[in-house]
Amino acid sequence: MPDNRVVVYKGPGEVAVESIDYPKLELPTDVVDGLGIARKAPHAAILKIVTTNICGSDQHMVRGRTTAPVGQSLGHEITGEIVEVGDDVLFAKVGDICSVPFNIACGRCRMCNEGKTGVCLHVNPARPGAAYGYVDMGGWIGGQAEYVMVPFADFNLLRFPDRDQALEKILDLTMLSDIFPTGYHGAVTAGVTTGSTVYVAGAGPVGLAAAHAAQLLGAAAVVVGDMIPERLAQARSFGCETVDLSGDGTLAEQLEQLLGEPEVDAAVDAVGFEARGHGRDAGEAPATVLNSVMEVTRVGGALGIPGLYVTGDPGAADDKAKEGTLGVRIGLGWAKSHSLTTGQCPVKKYNRQLMQAILSDRAQIAKAVNATTITLDDAPRGYQEFDGGVARKFVIDPHGSVAA
């Protein structure tokens, strides 16, 4: 039996690569005991990881800003080659290279039947919705590993049609498991369309993915805001305008300089609960982005909110924020007739179309997010550099599958 190793959270600011058991076609104990379903998973497949990415959501855990326990396995952005399938898997085949949506979904419940795979009812006893390698998400082993088990394989896996083409474009295709659909979801739910002016808060990988998605959707102007010069430069590298929120000018003032008016048609919050206040020496203020995007979005506009907000943040600045209660100016949003969309992106809603955009050279998401390949053993360094604000999306290549 092959060995298996996985990236594990060891405490605030620390991860390590540890040996674990090779996966079996079995469901996690938490899911089996909590939902009263069978442990054996003939509907599952085992994948040899081709690529797996470090996500900003992982970084929240590693910073100690969630209730993740020491020993939590990490990684929910997974692309892999099928090496084993259960007896009930009818269509996924050994040798297929597939993208794995970070949402784990049964394909059988009411939410899955409605296309809301981010809140599947049968994969997590604690709450609707599950993910690989994430706190309170069902106990599923993470995918920053050498091998991983994927349940309900026929429903969850997105097969790439041509193996050679997939490996050639793997740095783009690896983004289909999370950030490209998530960024696209943020732009779609913000109402981005032909000729829109768009503001994206945050120039991390999801923000950059949302900005590229807005371009694909036909936006006339995409403005990205951040406080890190390297990340703002990355946004400009593929045609975005930028605003530096560490300076003295307000967001509305900077938008007016760029667009001729202090507001936009649509806005995306790609920052989430670790937001900082705008301006020099500003401290953490978790409602900053939500309030600022309401301020600059036109009357009747929409806000896409793919940025993560949590119900448990032990590192928050005050007791209210520790439970996810923030000082959001909902009255402003109400007065401006805004619509807001939150929650996990339902990856399956978008991943096939985005795959086709990549394969036809319509989307260059790896370039937009500055995809950078590292080995599994380099994962601790990748986490450290990502936490420092580098303008890179780290792609872990456990088996040397990515061509130089």
Phi, psi dihedrals of residue 115, rounded to the nearest 5°: 80, 10
Residues 396/382, Cβ–Cβ less than 8 Å: yes
User: Comparing C-alpha atoms, which of 145, 139, 131, 134 is closest to residue 48?
Assistant: 145
- What is residue 404's predicted lDDT score, i.e. its pLDDT? 63
Q: 29-57 pLDDT, tens per residue? A: 999 999 999 999 999 999 999 999 999 99
- What is residue 100's predicted lDDT score, i.e. its pLDDT? 98
Residue ranges of the chain with per-residue pLDDT less than 70:
1, 404
Q: Give the separation between CA 103 and CA 132, rounded to whole angstroms.
A: 8
Q: 295-349 pLDDT, tens per residue? A: 999 999 999 999 999 999 999 989 999 999 999 999 999 999 999 999 999 999 9
Q: Give the separation between CA 186 and CA 344, rounded to whole angstroms.
A: 10
- What is residue 317's predicted lDDT score, i.e. its pLDDT? 84
Provide CATH 3.40.50.720 ranges for the chain: 183-341
- What is residue 3's predicted lDDT score, i.e. its pLDDT? 85
Q: Give the separation between CA 224 and CA 226, rounded to whole angstroms.
A: 7
DSSP-assigned letters across all residues of 48-94: EEEEEE--HHHHHHHTT-S-PPTT-B---EEEEEEEEE-TT--S--T
Q: How far is CA 166 from CA 80, 169, 186, 299, 402, in A?
A: 11, 5, 26, 43, 11
Domain 183-341: which topology?
Rossmann fold (3.40.50)
Does the model's pTM come out above 0.75? yes
Cα angle 82, 85, 91; round to 5? 85
Question: What are the residues facing 373 on neighbouring strands?
Answer: 395
Q: How far is CA 376 from CA 102, 214, 302, 390, 394, in A?
A: 19, 32, 40, 19, 11
- What is residue 314's predicted lDDT score, i.e. its pLDDT? 93
SS3 content of the chain, % helix, strand, coil (to 5): 30, 25, 45
- What is residue 168's predicted lDDT score, i.e. its pLDDT? 96
Provide CATH 3.90.180.10 ranges for the chain: 4-178+346-396
What is the assigned CATH class of domain 4-178+346-396? alpha beta
Residues 345/185, Cβ–Cβ less than 8 Å: yes
User: Comparing C-alpha atoms, which of 244, 252, 249, 247 is closest to residue 280?
Assistant: 247
